[in-house]
Chains A and B, each alone.
Chain A
């Protein structure tokens, strides 16, 4: 199968102290790692694409490890998400190859990560922005942790590239007060509640 050919990486960390309300004792950190790689299937219809998922595993793991390092350790992580942005000569389906290697890489590093990793994907041009959905790592219904992080790069994805993204956060929205299931109340068994 084709190699993973990396053109560039970008990592972003946001630290949020308040959003107009009282400043909480603990700030919220959101981090994203983006990898821009060549799309081995650009410009043609390739029926058999699944082996590339195996090739993406080391990349996924290195991105997840970087996120954990950026946010101060696996025990700090409370939310996650993933996404793919496919250049114009590719196909939405190519982005779906990121689900397994991206998601399981994060879950492998995080204890108590029973929740499905929320995701989004689209085909876009250079400079396109993507809103990466975020939910609690252990219980998808935790309302305080429904969040998202916008990412994008001015020079990617080129037509024959794809941009793969992983996101982790250290907590709830900074002034969360919309009720629902609280992180403190979850059972953490089924990934939902």
Chain B
């Protein structure tokens, strides 16, 4: 099954200064979100493999959209995250089916490598509700400067029979990281953790 997409939105945020300090180059985060029809709205479906396939499709589509929006080569991506918000006639498990089994591999292809777990969140929601997409370093989950998140919100989604699926990619960490921990430059990126 391929996703029936009603709309796609892409948002890029650049932070040029924070607390009066220049951020040069600016830190940049992108989030791409697809609003799709929930094929299982209103029914209990035991086999969720159709949603898993949709997850694979959207991992590639939305990952590529983020990288293109940032105007970077895939290898320049530094952190990523994924989230889904299910409209009221669906089920939280639908989000899990999209996000977890198959979305990661094509997303990792879009950002090149991606040894680390893709940070995720999911919830039920209604039109206009805010979805916070968590962000973590793509190759080394313990890189502390890259723990972050980006908010996404569409006034008209998700409708009751829809699911909002979001993928976020950055080319940088927080604007003024100074709480220590493992840094981007120190990370080996082999085991996905450090």
Using a CB-CB cutoff of 8 Å, which residues 1-29 of chain A contact chain B?
Answer: 5-20
Name the prevailing secondary structure of the B interface residues: strand
Within the assembled complex, what's the spacing in Å between the Cα atoms of A5 and B21? 11
How big is the B interface, by class? 20 to 34
Within the assembled complex, what's the spacing in Å between the Cα atoms of A5 and B8? 32
How many contacts between A and B, using CB within 8 angstroms? 54
Using a CB-CB cutoff of 8 Å, which residues 66-121 of chain B contact chain A?
Answer: 69
Query: Shortest Cβ distance from A172 into chain B, in angstroms?
Result: 15
CB of A152 closer than 8 Å to a CB of B: yes
Within the assembled complex, what's the spacing in Å between the Cα atoms of A181 and B130? 37
A-side interface residues, number (CB < 8 Å)? 21
A19–B6 CB distance below 8 A: yes
Query: Shortest Cβ distance from B78 into chain A, in angstroms?
Result: 18
B9–A9 CB distance below 8 A: no
**Nearest-CB residue, chain B, relative to A13:** B10
A17–B13 CB distance below 8 A: no
What 1/0 flags go to B143-168 for Cβ under 8 Å of A? 00000000101110000000000000
CB of B11 closer than 8 Å to a CB of A: yes
**Nearest-CB residue, chain B, relative to A155:** B151
CB of A48 closer than 8 Å to a CB of B: no
Residues of B contacting A46 in the complex (Cβ-Cβ under 8 angstroms): none
Known: A14-B7, A15-B7, A15-B9. A9 touches B14 (CB 8 A): yes
Within the assembled complex, what's the spacing in Å between the Cα atoms of A16 and B154? 12
**Nearest-CB residue, chain B, relative to A19:** B6
CB of B45 closer than 8 Å to a CB of A: no
Residues of A within 8 A of B (CB): 5-20, 129, 150, 152-154
22 pairs from A and B in contact (CB 8 Å cutoff) = A5-B17, A6-B16, A6-B17, A7-B15, A7-B17, A7-B18, A8-B15, A8-B17, A9-B13, A9-B16, A10-B12, A11-B12, A12-B11, A13-B11, A17-B5, A17-B6, A17-B8, A19-B6, A150-B155, A152-B153, A153-B13, A154-B151
